[in-house]
Amino acid sequence: MTTQSEHREALDAVTGHLARDRGLDLTRYKSSYLTRRLLVRVRALRLAGLEEYLMFLKTHPEEIGPLQKALSIKVTGFFRNRSCFELLEERVVPDLVQRAAMRGDALTVWSAGCATGEEAWSLAALFAAGTSAPGPPGRRGTGGPRVDILATDLDEAALAKAGQAVFPARAILGAVPDGARAQFEMRDDGTAVPVPALRTMVRFERENLLDPPPRHDLDLVVCRNVLIYFSLEHQADILGRFAAALRDGGYLVLGRVERLFGPARAAFEATSARERVYQRLPRVAVRRGAACA
């Protein structure tokens, strides 16, 4: 039986090899999560343990792809955690639409860790219903600001599925509220797709959440149930990037089991602590608060 110290040594050997020879830094992940995901690959390859997996990695460089996929958990769905989307519909979307209209420019959204796209398309449908922009097939509406949604993930296969945007119709009918359901076209073969105008709102890009390009003046960042897979240090770094990316008055949405902490905490006030929705404070107010502290 492998002792705890031997397991730790084997885990360190695997992560060290990946960092030195493959440029894959796994120190960002919690040890318990990392162990579980590595063992998924160990079992899939029918290896005896992490020691054998290390030897396999050294002779099979193509294993990096399956390993990265194993590290990425895809648990998603349309309008997942309905109460959160109800809050967005009732308070956040109207506020952001009004702010964008007053500025006279587009409303910008980042779905970080978008998986297979259900969250990004849910957000698009929510904003479409709230702005009267896209409508039924063949008709473009008017009356609201343009909405640009960037959806990112590290998993290329998930992004490909998200971009295809072909979903079981039952997934739409059973989850999407009536006001947003018109943004999806139901097909005779039992599938559903976003209407053409909705497609213009969303673009998908491959991106590592720990190394994103600098972003500024975003209105909404949605990153739910992704931070939990990272160490506390890296969570704090990511939250700091979100704070920097949001314009004053913008919103951040986290998962129910996640929390806002670290230096970024001072940049937000809670719109709903229960739903993990936070609004970006004006930067002048944050600086004044820091000066008084």
Portion of the chain with pLDDT greater than 90, in percent: 61
Homologous superfamily of domain range 82-290: Vaccinia Virus protein VP39 (3.40.50.150)
Q: Is the pLDDT of residue 61 over 70?
A: yes
pLDDT digits (tens, 9 = 90+) for 62-104: 888 788 777 766 667 899 889 999 999 999 999 999 999 999 9
CA–CA separation, 124 vs 131, rounded Å? 10
CA–CA separation, 280 vs 271, rounded Å? 10
Q: Cα torsion for 237, 283, 92, 223, to the nearest 10°?
A: -10
Q: Could you tell me which residues come within 8 angstroms of residue 69 by beta carbon, excluding any fewer than 6 positions away?
A: 155, 157
pLDDT digits (tens, 9 = 90+) for 114-127: 989 999 999 999 99
CA dist list (Å): 230 to 34, 53, 193, 234, 239: 9, 22, 33, 6, 12
Q: What is the CATH number of domain 4-71?
A: 1.10.155
- The whole-model pTM stands at 0.77
Radius of gyration of the chain (CA): 21
| Residue-level pLDDT at 140 | 38
**Region 187-203 average pLDDT:** 95
CA–CA separation, 267 vs 107, rounded Å? 21
| Residue-level pLDDT at 65 | 76
Q: Is the pLDDT of residue 285 over 80?
A: no
Q: Is the pLDDT of residue 287 over 70?
A: no
CA–CA separation, 178 vs 172, rounded Å? 10
Residue 23's pLDDT band, with cuts at 50, 70 and 90, is: low
CA dist list (Å): 95 to 107, 139, 271: 11, 26, 12
**Where exactly does CATH 3.40.50.150 map onto the chain?**
82-290
| Residue-level pLDDT at 292 | 40
**Region 21-26 average pLDDT:** 72
The alpha helices in the chain, defined as continuous H runs, are 4-22, 31-44, 50-59, 64-71, 82-87, 93-103, 118-131, 156-164, 169-173, 178-181, 196-199, 232-245, 283-292
Portion of the chain with pLDDT greater than 70, in percent: 90
**Region 184-205 average pLDDT:** 95
Q: Are strands 246-254 and 191-194 parallel, antiparallel or unpaired?
A: unpaired
Q: Compute how many other C-beta atoms are within 10 angstroms of the C-beta atom of residue 227.
A: 24
**Where exactly does CATH 1.10.155 map onto the chain?**
4-71
Q: Could you tell me which residues come within 8 angstroms of residue 37 by beta carbon, excluding any fewer than 6 positions away?
A: 29, 70, 71
pLDDT digits (tens, 9 = 90+) for 126-158: 999 887 644 333 333 446 899 999 999 988 888
Max CA pair span of the chain = 67
CA–CA separation, 3 vs 223, rounded Å? 37
Closest CA to 71 of 107, 134, 29: 29
Residue 110's pLDDT band, with cuts at 50, 70 and 90, is: very high
CA–CA separation, 252 vs 230, rounded Å? 18
**Region 223-243 average pLDDT:** 89
For the chain, the average pLDDT equals: 87
| Residue-level pLDDT at 154 | 83
The answer to whether the beta carbons of residues 148 and 106 sit under 8 Å apart is yes
Chain centroid to CA 224: 6
| Residue-level pLDDT at 177 | 87
